[in-house]
Structure 1
Amino acid sequence: MSENDWFVMRPQKAQAYGRPEGDGFLIRQGSTTMREGSPRVKRDREERDRLLRQGVLVPDNDPALYRFSREYVFGSSSVAGGVVKDGNCSGPQSWRRSSDGKTLKDVFG
């Protein structure tokens, strides 16, 4: 798998890499998420908190971020994006391919 196959999302200080994998969306180890994003309504906060309890997300050196301690497959790019930005997210429109800036929606329709 080349770097060109990864999609990136950079909300605020966070930077996460992911790609479609089987029937889910894989986030690469070392990717970061916002601890406190916006808006106030966070439909994926429960998922984020579960990942913290399981040790999938751990505190980063930057106090504003969490970091993925290992690869993790989410059920969708939107849930993955919601956890990364700590807010509601449209994954198909938010994840962009590093090589050309195309969104998941552009690439996969």
Structure 2
Amino acid sequence: MSENDWFVTRSQKAQAYGRPEAGGFLVRKGSTAMREGSPRVKRDREERDSLVRQGVLIPDADPDLYRFSHDHLFQSASMAGGVIKDGNCSGPQSWRRSRDGKTLKDLF
């Protein structure tokens, strides 16, 4: 898969790259996630906290962010987006392909 086939999502200061994979949605090492997102409803907070305990998400130089220490496979694009945003997320609408801006929903 080329660099142009990665999808990107942004939320406040966070920016993450991912792509569909067999069995889920892969988020690339070096992507960032919000420590505290603005929405009050946080469906994926338990998953996010587990990734912090496991060392998948580590503190970033920016105190508002976590950084992925290695690639991580999520169950879905929505769960990945929810962890990155620190709030509920529609993965099919939030992840856009870098080369043309098409969403997962547009393509699948």
Give TM-score, length-normalised by structure 2. Answer: 0.98
AA in 2 matched with 1:58:
I
**1:37 & 1:17 partners in 2: Cα distance?**
18
**2:39 & 2:56 partners in 1: Cα distance?**
23
Q: Among all aligned residue pairs of Structure 1 and Structure 2, give the percentage whose two residues are the same amino acid.
A: 80
Equivalent pairs counted in the alignment come to 108
Gaps of 5+ in 2: none
**1:2 & 1:76 partners in 2: Cα distance?**
21
Q: 1:23, CA displacement in angstroms? A: 2.0
AA in 1 matched with 2:50:
R
**2:19 & 2:25 partners in 1: Cα distance?**
6
AA in 1 matched with 2:39:
P
* Residues 64-79 of structure 1 mapped to structure 2, 5 A cutoff: 64-79=64-79
**1:47 & 1:38 partners in 2: Cα distance?**
17
AA in 2 matched with 1:16:
A
Specify the alignment match of 2:25 in structure 1.
Answer: 25
Specify the alignment match of 2:51 in structure 1.
Answer: 51
AA in 1 matched with 2:95:
W
Q: 1:38, CA displacement in angstroms? A: 1.9
AA in 2 matched with 1:5:
D
**2:38 & 2:73 partners in 1: Cα distance?**
23
Specify the alignment match of 1:105 in structure 2.
Answer: 105
**1:28 & 1:96 partners in 2: Cα distance?**
14
Specify the alignment match of 1:88 in structure 2.
Answer: 88
Tell whether 2:36 aligns with 1:36: yes
